[in-house]
Structure 1
Amino acid sequence: MCHELTAHTAAIKDFLASNPEEMILKSGAIFSKNQESIIVKYFARNFTVSLSNGEVTAENQQPVSPKDATLILQYLTQCNGLPPRGTWISFLELPQGIHHYVPFLKDACQPISNILSDDPNLFMQRAASLGGRPIKMGDAAALIPAFPKLPLAVAIWQGDDEFPAKANILFDSIAPHHLTTAALWVLGCEMARKMTDF
């Protein structure tokens, strides 16, 4: 929790030091009507970020976890404006991804495999709840817009006598230009949690 709060505090500081117009231009976010905050889509839901204090609120006023709030702030300040490339890379192919690859499989991919790989219909329902749409990969797969310019792909393979069930999360190759590898690790884990927490 201490690390979460430190990352969140740093993200707020960076956000408040950034130019709002530039963040909006690069990230695909928009100004609120009163221009006192920025609205950005995160997993198909609108989140509002106050320009006065960096506080992140959900559209339904539900509490926003420190991890989600930190990711939203980091995306707004770090996104470099380039659109998705439409090519997928694994976590292993991210800068320094090799150092966190095994924990990523355990904390992000494995929960999806454990809970959803045997039920492609439920898997697609859960993906759709995050704004996902079907793509061709594995036994079932979806493109999920984590942020306006940062999509993820998630796929499942049902197990059989020869191979165990598995899931994989892929990143658009533009992802390292929008978030650090550490932040992308958290993003993948948060997507997995949202897909399996029901």
Structure 2
Amino acid sequence: METNYRIAYDKGWQDVKKKLPEEIVSRRSVSYCSSKNQFTVPFFNSEYILDCRNETITGKTAGQIPDITASIIILNYLSFSDISPTPDKKWVSLKEIPKGGALFYPAFRKNTIEVLLKTFGKQPKELLTCAAALGGQSASLGSASVVFHAFPEIPLCIVMWEGDEEVRANATVLYDPSIADILHVESIIGLGMYLAAKLNQLASR
């Protein structure tokens, strides 16, 4: 595990453990078992068990271990729970997310948007097929678009525009603005990168 990820992962556990479980449950769509000191957290199309005694995260059904990016996002989702979000029910790009969205957008485009373009730019409808494995639902934007729920309170939308001889294919990742009250900007960026990478993996299969 790379040092920066390990630091963020360890800090995530520390931050979760500083919270009262009742406080987290009251503001996030999770359940908690006090006898086992475990949270059950929905993430995309799966549920994960966060064991606070052993500091482990595993899939509830298959026991799979999420990658480090997903693990940090899940921990951040629990620890950043001082606010109960109110969805705005509109879409914005990362550039419109406060506290760093615009600053980090060039790197986000390289590591997320370009991955989506490489994977689906010539076949945007393939996005719909791959998205089903992650619980995505077709939307009506662009040439093809899908709405996902990373967590019940956190929708995000991927939109693809098919290119032609004159216009280059394009893509974007859109968020509900309320995500800024639920995750740190680093996790918002990581969420888009994680989703693009998962869709790329599904397309490769």
State the TM-score, normalizing by the size of structure 1. Answer: 0.94
CA contact (8 A) 2:125 2:143 kept: no
Q: Which amino acid aligns with 2:70?
A: D
* Residue identity (%): 25
Deviations 1:89-111 (A, max 9, x none): 10101112121111101101111
Distance (whole Å) between structure 2 residues aligned to residue 125 and residue 107 of structure 1 = 22
**Structure 2: tracts of 5 or more residues without a match:** none
Distance (whole Å) between structure 2 residues aligned to residue 51 and residue 187 of structure 1 = 23
- The alpha carbon displacement at 1:117 in A equals 2.6
Of stretches 76-85 and 111-120 in structure 1, the one that deviates more from structure 2 is: 76-85
Counterparts of 1:145-184 in structure 2, within 5 Å, are 145-184=149-188
Q: Which amino acid aligns with 1:40?
A: V
| Correspondent of 2:67 among 65, 68, 81 | 65
Q: Which amino acid aligns with 1:121?
A: K
Across the aligned residues of Structure 1 and Structure 2, the Cα RMSD in angstroms comes to 1.5
Deviations 1:61-109 (A, max 9, x none): 1222222111101001114222432111101011121211111011011
Aligned to 2:191: 187
Of stretches 186-195 and 122-131 in structure 1, the one that deviates more from structure 2 is: 122-131
Deviations 1:99-146 (A, max 9, x none): 111110110111111111322332101112111111111101011001
Distance (whole Å) between structure 1 residues aligned to residue 194 and residue 152 of structure 2 = 17
Q: Residue 100 of structure 1: SS of its match in structure 2?
A: helix
Counterparts of 1:42-121 in structure 2, within 5 Å, are 42-59=43-60, 60-79=62-81, 80-95=83-98, 96-121=100-125
**Structure 1: tracts of 5 or more residues without a match:** none
Matched residues, number: 198
Aligned to 2:38: 37
Of stretches 29-38 and 56-65 in structure 1, the one that deviates more from structure 2 is: 29-38
CA contact (8 A) 1:142 1:154 kept: yes
Q: Residue 65 of structure 2: SS of its match in structure 1?
A: coil
CA contact (8 A) 1:154 1:169 kept: yes
CA contact (8 A) 1:117 1:123 kept: no
Q: Which runs of 4+ in 1 moved over 3 A?
A: 32-35
Of stretches 4-13 and 157-166 in structure 1, the one that deviates more from structure 2 is: 157-166
